[in-house]
A and B are shown apart, each in its own frame.
Chain A
Protein backbone atom coordinates (compact mmCIF):
# COMPACT_ATOMS: atom_id res chain seq x y z
CA UNK A 1 0.00 0.00 0.00
CA UNK A 2 1.19 3.48 -0.73
CA UNK A 3 2.07 5.78 2.12
CA UNK A 4 3.62 9.16 2.77
CA UNK A 5 5.60 10.13 5.85
CA UNK A 6 6.53 13.57 7.08
CA UNK A 7 8.81 12.84 10.02
CA UNK A 8 8.59 16.29 11.61
CA UNK A 9 5.33 17.58 13.05
CA UNK A 10 6.85 21.02 13.52
CA UNK A 11 9.73 22.88 11.93
CA UNK A 12 10.98 26.19 13.32
CA UNK A 13 13.36 28.39 11.37
CA UNK A 14 14.58 31.95 11.68
CA UNK A 15 13.59 34.44 9.02
CA UNK A 16 16.24 34.60 6.30
CA UNK A 17 17.59 31.12 7.03
CA UNK A 18 17.13 28.20 4.64
CA UNK A 19 14.29 25.82 5.38
CA UNK A 20 13.71 22.14 4.67
CA UNK A 21 10.51 20.19 5.18
CA UNK A 22 11.04 16.46 4.80
CA UNK A 23 8.94 13.87 3.00
CA UNK A 24 9.46 10.20 2.28
CA UNK A 25 7.09 7.90 0.45
CA UNK A 26 6.44 4.24 -0.15
CA UNK A 27 4.87 3.34 -3.50
CA UNK A 28 5.62 1.02 -6.36
CA UNK A 29 6.30 2.26 -9.84
CA UNK A 30 6.95 5.85 -10.84
CA UNK A 31 4.85 8.17 -8.71
CA UNK A 32 3.80 11.72 -9.16
CA UNK A 33 4.85 13.77 -6.11
CA UNK A 34 3.35 17.01 -4.88
CA UNK A 35 3.67 19.66 -2.20
CA UNK A 36 0.73 21.70 -0.99
CA UNK A 37 0.46 24.52 1.54
CA UNK A 38 -2.46 25.33 3.82
CA UNK A 39 -2.95 28.66 5.53
CA UNK A 40 -5.26 28.88 8.57
CA UNK A 41 -8.92 28.20 7.77
CA UNK A 42 -8.22 27.81 4.07
CA UNK A 43 -8.09 25.02 1.54
CA UNK A 44 -4.86 23.54 0.25
CA UNK A 45 -2.89 25.35 -2.42
CA UNK A 46 -0.55 23.67 -4.88
CA UNK A 47 3.17 24.54 -4.59
CA UNK A 48 5.01 22.22 -6.94
CA UNK A 49 5.14 18.72 -8.42
CA UNK A 50 7.56 16.14 -9.73
CA UNK A 51 6.45 14.20 -12.78
CA UNK A 52 9.64 13.15 -14.51
CA UNK A 53 13.01 14.53 -15.58
CA UNK A 54 15.14 16.89 -13.52
CA UNK A 55 15.26 15.89 -9.87
CA UNK A 56 15.15 19.50 -8.71
CA UNK A 57 11.72 21.01 -9.16
CA UNK A 58 10.97 24.71 -8.78
CA UNK A 59 7.58 25.96 -7.70
CA UNK A 60 5.61 28.88 -6.38
CA UNK A 61 6.84 31.51 -3.88
CA UNK A 62 10.51 30.54 -4.27
CA UNK A 63 10.05 26.96 -3.09
CA UNK A 64 11.81 24.01 -4.64
CA UNK A 65 11.93 20.29 -3.97
CA UNK A 66 14.49 17.58 -4.60
CA UNK A 67 13.38 14.15 -5.75
CA UNK A 68 15.65 11.30 -4.67
CA UNK A 69 14.53 7.97 -6.07
CA UNK A 70 17.02 5.81 -4.16
CA UNK A 71 15.97 7.34 -0.83
CA UNK A 72 12.31 7.66 -1.86
CA UNK A 73 12.31 11.23 -0.64
CA UNK A 74 10.91 14.51 -1.88
CA UNK A 75 12.08 17.24 0.50
CA UNK A 76 10.75 20.78 0.20
CA UNK A 77 13.30 23.59 0.40
CA UNK A 78 13.60 27.35 0.28
CA UNK A 79 16.89 29.27 0.41
CA UNK A 80 15.61 32.12 2.58
CA UNK A 81 12.50 31.77 4.76
CA UNK A 82 9.91 34.52 5.17
CA UNK A 83 7.53 35.01 8.09
CA UNK A 84 4.70 34.70 5.57
CA UNK A 85 5.85 31.13 4.81
CA UNK A 86 4.48 30.05 8.19
CA UNK A 87 1.78 27.51 7.38
CA UNK A 88 0.96 23.80 7.26
CA UNK A 89 2.72 21.87 4.48
CA UNK A 90 1.57 18.59 3.00
CA UNK A 91 3.44 16.15 0.84
CA UNK A 92 1.31 13.98 -1.45
CA UNK A 93 1.90 11.05 -3.78
CA UNK A 94 -0.08 9.65 -6.67
CA UNK A 95 1.15 6.12 -7.19
CA UNK A 96 0.16 5.62 -10.80
CA UNK A 97 -0.59 7.42 -13.97
CA UNK A 98 -4.08 6.19 -14.70
CA UNK A 99 -7.22 8.11 -14.00
CA UNK A 100 -8.07 5.76 -11.13
CA UNK A 101 -4.90 6.37 -9.16
CA UNK A 102 -5.59 8.08 -5.88
CA UNK A 103 -3.65 10.88 -4.24
CA UNK A 104 -2.50 10.09 -0.70
CA UNK A 105 -1.33 12.82 1.67
CA UNK A 106 1.17 12.85 4.46
CA UNK A 107 0.20 14.01 7.97
CA UNK A 108 1.50 17.53 7.44
CA UNK A 109 4.33 19.61 8.89
CA UNK A 110 3.69 22.91 10.60
CA UNK A 111 6.31 25.48 9.63
CA UNK A 112 6.95 28.47 11.86
CA UNK A 113 9.27 31.19 10.63
CA UNK A 114 10.46 33.32 13.51
CA UNK A 115 11.16 37.01 12.92
Chain B
Protein backbone atom coordinates (compact mmCIF):
# COMPACT_ATOMS: atom_id res chain seq x y z
CA UNK B 1 0.00 0.00 0.00
CA UNK B 2 1.66 3.21 -1.18
CA UNK B 3 -0.58 5.69 0.71
CA UNK B 4 0.69 9.26 0.25
CA UNK B 5 3.85 9.61 -1.82
CA UNK B 6 5.94 12.77 -1.92
CA UNK B 7 8.81 13.58 -4.28
CA UNK B 8 11.53 14.65 -4.05
CA UNK B 9 12.61 13.83 -0.50
CA UNK B 10 15.39 16.40 -0.57
CA UNK B 11 15.96 19.49 -2.71
CA UNK B 12 18.37 22.41 -2.66
CA UNK B 13 17.41 25.54 -4.57
CA UNK B 14 18.95 28.93 -5.14
CA UNK B 15 16.96 32.05 -4.37
CA UNK B 16 14.67 32.87 -7.26
CA UNK B 17 14.51 29.37 -8.71
CA UNK B 18 11.21 27.61 -9.19
CA UNK B 19 10.24 24.04 -8.44
CA UNK B 20 7.31 21.74 -7.84
CA UNK B 21 6.86 19.36 -4.93
CA UNK B 22 4.82 16.37 -6.01
CA UNK B 23 2.18 14.61 -3.93
CA UNK B 24 0.17 11.57 -4.98
CA UNK B 25 -2.23 9.37 -3.05
CA UNK B 26 -3.84 6.08 -4.03
CA UNK B 27 -6.65 5.99 -1.45
CA UNK B 28 -9.21 7.95 -3.51
CA UNK B 29 -9.23 10.71 -0.90
CA UNK B 30 -10.99 13.88 -1.93
CA UNK B 31 -9.28 16.10 0.64
CA UNK B 32 -5.58 16.87 0.21
CA UNK B 33 -3.42 19.46 1.89
CA UNK B 34 0.09 20.83 2.18
CA UNK B 35 1.78 21.78 5.45
CA UNK B 36 5.18 23.16 6.26
CA UNK B 37 6.98 22.21 9.44
CA UNK B 38 9.38 24.61 11.12
CA UNK B 39 11.05 24.20 14.53
CA UNK B 40 8.89 25.50 17.35
CA UNK B 41 6.01 26.33 15.04
CA UNK B 42 4.46 22.94 14.45
CA UNK B 43 2.73 22.36 11.15
CA UNK B 44 1.20 25.29 9.31
CA UNK B 45 -1.35 24.80 6.56
CA UNK B 46 -0.31 26.22 3.18
CA UNK B 47 -3.09 25.18 0.79
CA UNK B 48 -5.77 22.54 0.68
CA UNK B 49 -8.23 21.00 -1.75
CA UNK B 50 -11.57 19.26 -1.23
CA UNK B 51 -11.66 17.75 -4.70
CA UNK B 52 -10.50 18.04 -8.28
CA UNK B 53 -10.72 21.63 -9.44
CA UNK B 54 -11.24 23.05 -5.93
CA UNK B 55 -8.43 24.62 -3.90
CA UNK B 56 -8.25 27.14 -1.09
CA UNK B 57 -5.67 28.95 1.01
CA UNK B 58 -4.50 27.93 4.44
CA UNK B 59 -2.58 29.91 7.07
CA UNK B 60 0.59 30.64 5.07
CA UNK B 61 -0.22 30.59 1.32
CA UNK B 62 2.05 33.40 0.11
CA UNK B 63 4.76 32.27 -2.29
CA UNK B 64 3.03 28.98 -3.10
CA UNK B 65 0.62 27.88 -5.81
CA UNK B 66 -1.43 24.71 -6.11
CA UNK B 67 -3.78 23.08 -8.57
CA UNK B 68 -5.84 19.90 -8.47
CA UNK B 69 -6.58 18.42 -11.85
CA UNK B 70 -7.05 14.84 -10.62
CA UNK B 71 -8.18 13.22 -7.38
CA UNK B 72 -4.78 11.54 -6.98
CA UNK B 73 -2.35 14.44 -7.38
CA UNK B 74 -1.85 17.74 -5.56
CA UNK B 75 1.41 19.46 -6.56
CA UNK B 76 2.82 22.45 -4.68
CA UNK B 77 4.65 25.05 -6.77
CA UNK B 78 7.23 27.55 -5.60
CA UNK B 79 7.48 30.15 -8.37
CA UNK B 80 10.43 32.12 -7.00
CA UNK B 81 12.03 30.45 -4.01
CA UNK B 82 13.14 32.49 -1.01
CA UNK B 83 15.31 31.47 1.97
CA UNK B 84 12.21 31.83 4.19
CA UNK B 85 10.75 28.85 2.36
CA UNK B 86 13.46 26.56 3.71
CA UNK B 87 11.40 23.98 5.56
CA UNK B 88 10.10 20.45 5.62
CA UNK B 89 6.91 20.07 3.60
CA UNK B 90 4.25 17.47 4.24
CA UNK B 91 1.35 16.42 2.09
CA UNK B 92 -1.68 14.88 3.80
CA UNK B 93 -5.01 13.47 2.67
CA UNK B 94 -8.29 12.16 4.06
CA UNK B 95 -11.76 11.30 2.79
CA UNK B 96 -13.59 14.60 2.29
CA UNK B 97 -16.65 14.25 4.51
CA UNK B 98 -15.28 11.76 6.97
CA UNK B 99 -14.40 12.42 10.59
CA UNK B 100 -11.21 10.52 9.97
CA UNK B 101 -7.61 11.36 10.44
CA UNK B 102 -5.10 12.73 7.97
CA UNK B 103 -2.69 10.39 6.24
CA UNK B 104 0.75 11.95 5.81
CA UNK B 105 3.54 11.50 3.33
CA UNK B 106 7.14 11.12 4.49
CA UNK B 107 8.00 14.75 3.83
CA UNK B 108 10.16 16.80 1.46
CA UNK B 109 13.08 18.72 2.91
CA UNK B 110 13.71 21.93 0.97
CA UNK B 111 16.70 24.21 1.42
CA UNK B 112 16.79 27.58 -0.33
CA UNK B 113 20.22 29.21 -0.45
> Given A44-B90, A106-B42, A107-B42, do A99 and B99 touch, yes or no (CB 8 Å)?
no
Residues of B within 8 Å of A43, CB to CB, are: 4, 90, 104-107
Is the pair A51, B99 in contact by a Cβ cutoff of 8 Å?
yes
Q: Show 28 residue pairs from A and B whose CB-CB distance is below 8 angstroms, ordered by the A residue.
A: A4-B42, A9-B40, A32-B99, A36-B101, A36-B104, A42-B106, A42-B107, A43-B105, A43-B106, A44-B43, A44-B102, A46-B102, A46-B103, A51-B99, A90-B43, A92-B102, A99-B31, A99-B50, A99-B96, A102-B33, A102-B48, A103-B45, A103-B92, A104-B59, A105-B42, A107-B41, A107-B42, A108-B42
A residues in contact (CB < 8 Å) with B: 4, 6, 9, 32, 34, 36, 41-46, 49, 51, 90, 92, 97-100, 102-108
